[in-house]
Amino acid sequence: MNDDLAASVLRSMFDAAVGSADPLVCVPAALPPRPKGRVVVIGAGKASARMAQAVEAAWGEGLEGLVVTRYGHGAPCRSIKIIEAAHPVPDAAGQAAAAQILQLAQSLGPDDTCLALISGGGSALLTLPAAGVTLHDKQTVNAALLASGASIDEMNSLRKHLSAIKGGRLAAAVAPAQLLTLMISDVPGDDPAVIASGPTVGDPTTLADARHILSRYNISVPKTIHAALKDHRNETPAIDDQIFERSEACLIATPQMALEAAAKVARAAGITPLILGDALEGEARELGRVMAGMAKQIRRHAQPVPAPCVLLSGGETTVTLRGKGRGGRNVECLLGMAQALQGATGIHAICADTDGVDGIEEIAGATLHPDTVMRAARAGYRLDAALAENDGHSYFEAAATQIITGPTLTNVNDFRAVLVL
């Protein structure tokens, strides 16, 4: 199998993973019959606009509501208002949208129904600072978190306790109305309390946990943040709080479902799939090196299975910033893999984000082939320099192996496939 054919097979697996989480597919299957009376639809995340579009198609006219999504990730809706805002660092548009969503929630009565559409990215998009905290404060914290190496769980614990709407507070505003939350998971473990910082579910973390995260990663923040994390009024509602008595949360698309869809494509191509896990975490470059080692084991010893096979995994790695390059965690993972493989024959890989955005650029990720390092070198790019500068996007652009999809309007986290021939 040549590089072009390997790239085509890898891309087909990625497309199947993304397609399995398309809201137009997974939302209608999860919706109950339309409730009687007033129905308000609210939501946040990179998939929320597409989810709202699917709800309108299934439930028809007469809905009201508002969802906030990332710039460029909107979808046409008739009665549900769509607002676009910044991600991953929040902006004023996201704050204004969050305030309107909270007002809608507070307007509900006991005979009304609220449908919440939550997906990855919702934490930054649904930004409404807690008392004493400004939007600039939250932007400072978010930027510091993204550069710290903190896990998504840790980031969200801090975000919840600096918010007037996340960590179950949106559910508190909806009560006593009936609340149904449909969630598309982009987090390791699929914990509803972590997806978009769990605005409609109880929070198992505390203010003390949030303070510990600041200390652990030595994150420098404004004094107002320290004060807010000591204010008991910013404690989030616990999982067993009575405000959740009329609330239900359902996962409708997950990383595991996406990996299983990719595995079907592999089998159809005569390739044995091995799903390593849907929640792999850690430093991106280090995970790349580990996966390279597994691929070389299969090539040398035909263990744990003989080639052709593909190693599939999902989850969310982290990148500790060392340089000032154009990069994201998926291309960083590929750089680490390339360094460990050293051009080994018969091994190809793809690492890409299912939302179409790896890092802050509209680039999903890239593919890696035995000749990729040579091609990048011909264009003047060195692998060790790219790693030192966290410059994966520039590197794979030079090698002509970038994956550019545009907004996919869904998000089930990162997709990784290592094809061993």
Say if 176 falls within a structural domain: yes
Helices (H), 60-131: 92-106, 122-125
pLDDT given for residue 42 in this prediction: 98
How many other CB atoms are there within 10 angstroms of residue 293's CB atom?
12
The 10s digit of each residue's pLDDT in 331-358 is 999 999 999 999 999 999 999 999 999 9
How many other CB atoms are there within 10 angstroms of residue 407's CB atom?
22
pLDDT given for residue 244 in this prediction: 96
**Residues 268 and 394 reside in one and the same domain:** yes
Say if 22 falls within a structural domain: no
Residue 226 in this model has a pLDDT that exceeds 90:
yes
Say if 210 falls within a structural domain: yes
CA-CA distance, 30 to 250, in Å (whole number)? 8
When divided into structural domains, the chain yields a total of 2
The 10s digit of each residue's pLDDT in 8-58 is 999 999 999 999 999 999 999 999 999 999 999 999 999 999 999 999 999
**Are the CB atoms for 50 and 22 separated by under 8 Å?**
yes
Nearest to 50 by CA among 69, 31, 71: 69
Position of tokens 């509803």? 192
**Residues 415 and 321 reside in one and the same domain:** yes
**Residues 307 and 328 reside in one and the same domain:** yes
Say if 228 falls within a structural domain: yes
The DSSP string of 25-48 is HHHHHH--SPPSS-EEEEEESTTH
pLDDT given for residue 145 in this prediction: 86
pTM, whole model, 2 decimals? 0.89
Position of tokens 């969200």? 156
How many other CB atoms are there within 10 angstroms of residue 98's CB atom?
28
**Residues 238 and 379 reside in one and the same domain:** no
Say if 189 falls within a structural domain: yes
**Residues 263 and 235 reside in one and the same domain:** no
Q: Which of 253, 273, 299 is the last residue of a domain?
A: 253
Residue 147 in this model has a pLDDT that exceeds 90:
no
**Residues 90 and 225 reside in one and the same domain:** yes
Say if 25 falls within a structural domain: no
Q: Is the sign of the CA dihedral 41, 43, 48, 51 positive or negative?
A: negative
Give helix then strand counts, H and E, for the chain.
16, 12
pLDDT given for residue 139 in this prediction: 85
Residue 103 in this model has a pLDDT that exceeds 90:
yes
CATH code of the domain containing 397: 3.40.1480.10
Say if 278 falls within a structural domain: yes
CATH code of the domain containing 66: 3.40.50.10180
Q: Which of 202, 227, 253 is the last residue of a domain?
A: 253
Query: Which three-class secondary structure state does DSSP give residue 414?
Result: strand
How many other CB atoms are there within 10 angstroms of residue 61's CB atom?
7
188: cis peptide before it, omega within 30°? no
pLDDT given for residue 295 in this prediction: 97
How many other CB atoms are there within 10 angstroms of residue 266's CB atom?
23
- 394-402 long-range contacts (CB < 8 A, ≥24 apart) are 394/325, 394/326, 395/331, 395/335, 396/331, 396/334, 396/366, 396/367, 396/372, 399/366, 399/372, 399/373, 399/375, 400/375, 401/7, 401/366, 401/367, 401/368, 401/369, 401/372, 401/375, 402/363, 402/365, 402/366
CA-CA distance, 26 to 115, in Å (whole number)? 15
**Residues 41 and 171 reside in one and the same domain:** yes
Q: Which of 198, 223, 253 is the last residue of a domain?
A: 253
Between 235 and 4, residue with greater pLDDT: 235
pLDDT given for residue 203 in this prediction: 95
Structure tokens at 272: 């044995």
**Residues 215 and 294 reside in one and the same domain:** no
The 10s digit of each residue's pLDDT in 184-211 is 999 888 999 999 999 999 999 999 999 9
**Residues 67 and 186 reside in one and the same domain:** yes
Say if 215 falls within a structural domain: yes
Q: Taking all residues of the chain, what is their mean pLDDT, rounded to a whole number? A: 94
**Residues 64 and 210 reside in one and the same domain:** yes
pLDDT given for residue 88 in this prediction: 84
pLDDT given for residue 360 in this prediction: 83
The 10s digit of each residue's pLDDT in 277-292 is 999 989 999 999 999 9
Structure tokens at 129: 């600072």
**Residues 245 and 314 reside in one and the same domain:** no
CA-CA distance, 75 to 94, in Å (whole number)? 17
pLDDT given for residue 153 in this prediction: 82
Residue 152 in this model has a pLDDT that exceeds 80:
no
Segment 115-127 shows an average pLDDT of: 94
pLDDT given for residue 19 in this prediction: 97
Between 57 and 323, residue with greater pLDDT: 57
Helices (H), 107-206: 122-125, 135-148, 152-161, 169-174
CA-CA distance, 250 to 412, in Å (whole number)? 15
**Are the CB atoms for 27 and 182 separated by under 8 Å?**
yes
Segment 391-406 shows an average pLDDT of: 97
**Residues 342 and 397 reside in one and the same domain:** yes
Residue 415 in this model has a pLDDT that exceeds 90:
yes
Instruction: Using pLDDT thresholds of 50, 70 and 90, give the confidence band for residue 271.
Output: very high
Position of tokens 């802050």? 360
Structural domain including 234 reads 31-253
Please state at what angle helix 152-161 crosses helix 135-148, rounded to 10 degrees: 160
pLDDT given for residue 361 in this prediction: 87
